[in-house]
Structure 1
Amino acid sequence: MSKLLLPTLPLIFLLMIHNAFSGYWDVSYSHPHICALKNSSVIMSCTYAYPTGYQIMKTFWTNGSVKGVEPPDLSKDPEYSQRLQYLGDEQKNCTIRLSHVTQKDEHMYYFRFITDKPDKKWIGVPGVSLTVTDLQVESPERVTEGDSVRLTCKSSCALTDRATFIWYRNSQPLTERRDGNNQLLLQSVRREDAGRYSCALHGHTYISPAVYLNVMYPPKETFVVVSPSGEIVEGDSVTLSCSSDSNPPAEISWFKGRMFVGSGRIYSISKISSDHSGEYKCKSRNKNGERYSDAVTLNIMYPPKSVSLSINGSAEIVEGDSVTLSCSSDSNPPALNFSWFKENQSSAVGSGQSFSALQSGRFYCEAHNQYGSQRSDAVTVTVHGETIIYSMWKIMCFFNLKPHKHISLHQIHKIMFFLSSYGHHMTPLIASDIVNLIHPFLFFKSL
C-alpha cells in the first residue's frame, strides 16, 4: 500500500498557523432559563469567544433566529430600546439588563456577533428562555374562627432569583411574616385576621392581586338600641334595633320576656300602649352559634285609666257616722292627685286618695298625672236619719175604730207623729219628713 506523504513543514511555520487560527466559536449563558417577576429587571449573563485573527465588528441581542434572515437588533427596537442596557464590555462579556418585563417579553433571546470576515457571523444558540410570571395568593374561600390557615404566594414558574416574600393585609405589610417561604401560616385564626391578603417579593414593586380571607364566627357584641332614646309616651312610635357582629350575618329574633314577638333586625311598634311595657331582647343566630342581647325595658308613660272607687264598709250609714271612699287607678307614673266630686256639683268636695262621706249622694273621684286624668264611676252613699227640710206637707189620717180609741204616739225612725181620734174624725197633722208607717189601722196619703 502506498502512502501519500506531505512534505515536512518547518516547525516555526506550524506555530504561526496555530497562533493565527487557534480558538473556537462560542456563546455561553449563565442561566439558559430565566423565570422573572412581572415588572422586574432581568439580568441575562453572557460570555462569548471566537478564534484569534478575527475582529469583532458588531454585537447585539435579538429575539429571532430564522435561517436565512438577519435577526433584528433589539437595541434598535422601540419596544426594547429604552429598557435594554449592556453591562458587558462587548468584547468577551455580553451581559445585558432588561427592565420592566411583562408577559409580552416572553421569548427566546440570543446574542449575535459579526466579525470582519463576511462569512464569519455567530449567533449563540440555544439562547435564553425568558418566562415572566405574576404572583397569585392561594387561599381557602372561608375559614372558621379558631382554624389554622395556610396562604400560598404562587408563581407560574420557579423564580430564578432567590426570593424573600412579603405579605400584606389590607395593603399593610405584615413585617413579622417576612421569610424565604412562599407560605403564610395563621394559627388559630381570629376574626381580626379577616381581610384582603396580597404578597410581593422583597426589593420588587410588583404586588399580587389581593384575595379576601373570609373568617366565619358566631354572633358577638349583640345589643339593642331603642329609638327614640328618651321618654316614651303612650301613642308614640318606637323602633328597636338589634346590632350583632357575626359572620355570616345573623338571623334576628325578638322576645318580650320569653315570648317571641317578631323577627328581623328592626322591630317597630306604632302607637305604643301600656300593654307594650316590659323587657325586650333580641337573639342573633348563624350556623356558628347564637347570642342573646341584654334586656332593655320599655317604660311606657300613660294617663290614668281603669279608675275605680271602693267603699270601706257599707254605703248605708246612720246620721252622725261616715263612710270612707278610696280611689285607685292604673297610670304611669302613678297618679298622685285625686279629686272628689258629688254629682250635680261643679266644685270638688275633697282631695286625696281617700274621702269620708257624711252626706247622702252619688260620689266619684278623678285621678291625675302629668299625662292626663280620668274619673271613676259614681257610687251612692245613703245616710239614714239625717234632717232634710221640705215644704210643709199635710197628712190626713183616716180611721174608723170601734170602739173609739186614742192613738197617742207612733215613733218610727226617730220621727214622732201625734194622732188623736174620737169617732169618725179626721185630724190634719204636720210632719217633718215623709215616712212610711206600716200599721194595720192607718193609711197615710199626702195632699
Structure 2
Amino acid sequence: MTGPFINSLNSQSPLNNVVQVHVVGNLTQKNCTTVFYNFPKDYNNIYFFRLQCPNEVKYNFAKGVSITVQTAPSAPLLTSVNQISEGAQVRLQCSVPVPCSVLPPSLTWLPQDSSRQEETEMLQNVDGQRIMMSAVTFTASADHHNQSIVCSVSYPLFEGGSTESSAATQRLNVLYAPRFTTATLSTSGPVSEGRTVTFTCSSDANPPVSHYTWYRDDSGNLSSSQLTRIRQAATLVLQVSQTDSGVYLCEAQTSRGSQRSRPVSLDVKGSCEDLVLAPYVICGVLLVLYILTVVVDLYKYRSLSRRLKQIELKGENTYTDLKTLSATSDYDQLQRQQP
C-alpha cells in the first residue's frame, strides 16, 4: 500500500496535500481508523477513503464521512433535572464526543465544590463512537437553589494549546421548607396606649410561603397549647391598649413544612403613666420660662443702669461748662470798667 488518500466529494485531489494523515488501524482487519492532523478550517465536506496498493489494487470506499470544521467545540450534552427536594442525592452527567482518542477532551465542572464527587470515564457507543462522560454527585440543599452548574469542554490541539471552551448550564430548582423566619416590630421600647404598631413576618422558602400566622404567648413558655392565634397574614397592624402587652411570634407554612420565628415583645404603657409624668413636664417648662424671664429682666436692668449713668455724666459736664462761662463773663466786665 502506498498510503492512504482522502478525497472529498467535490474534488479528486487528495487531502494528503493539505493535512497530515496517519492510519492507525489494521487494514487486514478492516480497521481503517485514520488520524487527521491540523485539519484546516473551511474544509467542510464529505470525504472518502481510497486504498491504493503497489500492484493494481485500487479501491475507493463508497461510504463517505461528513466532516465539519469548527473553531470552537459544540456544547456538551448535560442531563437536565427538574425539581429537586432538599436532602435528595443529585447526579448530573455531562458527555462529549471524542473524535481523537490520542488527544481526549478536558471536562470541567463549575463552580468548584469540594463537597461534590466527580468521576470521568471514556465510553463507546453502539455505533463505535467514543464519548467522554463526567458525572458529579451531591446532596441538594436550600443553598443550591437557583445555582447554575456549568460543564465546560475544551479539546487539545496537536501543535499545543487547546480550542476555545464551550459550556452547558443547568440551573437547579431545589424545594425546601421555610427557613430564616423572622418577626419584626415597627417600634422599640414601651408604646403609648392608643398608638398603632405594625408586626411584619418574613421567611425564605421554595415554593414561597403560602400562609403566615400570628400568635401571642400568654404563658411565657412558648408552649403550642398556650399560644393564642391572632390573625393569618404577613403583616399584623394593632391599635394597642394595655391588654395587648405580651410576646408575639409568627409561623410560616408551605407544602414542604413550617417554621416559627423568635418571639418579639410589645410593652404598652397606659394613659395614667402619662398623667404621672405630666406635672414634671409642666414644672420643667415653667422653670425654663422663669429662667428666661430673670435673664431678660437682668439684661434690661443693666441696660437701664448704663443709660442713667450716661445721663448723670452728661449733666455734670453741662454744669461745669456753664460755671466756667459765667466766670469768664464777669472777668471781661471788670476789664472793661477799668480806665
Alignment TM-score, normalising by the size of structure 1:
0.41
Distance 1:335 1:242 in 2: 34
Q: In the superposition, relative to structure 1, how do residues 321 and 217 fare at CA in structure 2: closer, same or farther (>3 Å)?
A: closer
Distance 1:271 1:383 in 2: 48
Distance 1:372 1:308 in 2: 16
Matches within 5 A, 1:148-187: 153-157=51-55, 159=56, 165-168=58-61, 172=63
* Match status 1:303 vs 2:177: yes
Give 1 or 2: higher helix fraction. Answer: 2
Q: Which secondary structure does the structure 2 equivalent of 1:221 belong to?
A: coil
> In angstroms, what is the RMSD of aligned CA positions?
3.4
Q: Which secondary structure does the structure 1 equivalent of 2:143 belong to?
A: helix
Distance 2:273 2:72 in 1: 85
Quick one: percent identity of the two aligned structures? 22
Q: In the superposition, relative to structure 1, how do residues 412 and 138 fare at CA in structure 2: closer, same or farther (>3 Å)?
A: closer
- What is the match of residue 141 of structure 2? 273
Distance 2:135 2:110 in 1: 10
Q: In the superposition, relative to structure 1, how do residues 275 and 298 fare at CA in structure 2: closer, same or farther (>3 Å)?
A: same
Q: In the superposition, relative to structure 1, how do residues 224 and 370 fare at CA in structure 2: closer, same or farther (>3 Å)?
A: farther
Q: In the superposition, relative to structure 1, how do residues 268 and 294 fare at CA in structure 2: closer, same or farther (>3 Å)?
A: closer
**Contact 1:315–1:382 under 8 Å retained in 2:** yes
Q: In the superposition, relative to structure 1, how do residues 217 and 260 fare at CA in structure 2: closer, same or farther (>3 Å)?
A: farther
Distance 1:290 1:412 in 2: 76
Q: In the superposition, relative to structure 1, how do residues 219 and 243 fare at CA in structure 2: closer, same or farther (>3 Å)?
A: farther
Q: In the superposition, relative to structure 1, how do residues 313 and 282 fare at CA in structure 2: closer, same or farther (>3 Å)?
A: same
Distance 1:324 1:192 in 2: 71
Distance 2:149 2:66 in 1: 31
Q: Which secondary structure does the structure 2 equivalent of 1:313 belong to?
A: coil
Equivalent in 216, 225, 228 of residue 78 of structure 2:
225
- What is the match of residue 373 of structure 1? 258
Matches within 5 A, 1:67-106: none
Q: How many pairs does the alignment contain? A: 209
* Match status 1:323 vs 2:176: no
Q: In the superposition, relative to structure 1, how do residues 275 and 269 fare at CA in structure 2: closer, same or farther (>3 Å)?
A: farther
Cα deviations by residue, 1:263-313 (Å, 9 ceiling, x for unpaired) = 644343432112223122111112131332242211222111011111112
**Contact 1:235–1:270 under 8 Å retained in 2:** no
2:149 maps to a residue whose letter is: Y
Cα deviations by residue, 1:10-55 (Å, 9 ceiling, x for unpaired) = xxxxxxxxxxxxxxxxxxxxxxxxxxxxxxxxxxxxxxxxxxxxxx
CA shift, 1:354, in A, is 0.7
Q: Which has the higher contact order (CA 8 A, sep 6+)?
A: 2
**Contact 1:385–1:414 under 8 Å retained in 2:** no
Q: Which secondary structure does the structure 1 equivalent of 2:66 belong to?
A: helix
* Match status 1:253 vs 2:134: no
* Match status 1:353 vs 2:234: yes
Q: In the superposition, relative to structure 1, how do residues 377 and 224 fare at CA in structure 2: closer, same or farther (>3 Å)?
A: farther
Distance 2:50 2:210 in 1: 74
Unaligned runs of 5+ in 1: 1-134, 175-190, 195-215, 387-410, 416-447
CA shift, 1:226, in A, is 3.6
* Match status 1:364 vs 2:249: yes
CA shift, 1:360, in A, is 0.5
1:155 maps to a residue whose letter is: C
Give 1 or 2: higher strand fraction. Answer: 1
Distance 1:193 1:233 in 2: 43
Cα deviations by residue, 1:304-328 (Å, 9 ceiling, x for unpaired) = 1011111112352122223211001
- What is the match of residue 154 of structure 2? 285
CA shift, 1:224, in A, is 4.6
**Contact 1:312–1:323 under 8 Å retained in 2:** yes
Q: In the superposition, relative to structure 1, how do residues 347 and 260 fare at CA in structure 2: closer, same or farther (>3 Å)?
A: closer
Cα deviations by residue, 1:177-212 (Å, 9 ceiling, x for unpaired) = xxxxxxxxxxxxxx7359xxxxxxxxxxxxxxxxxx
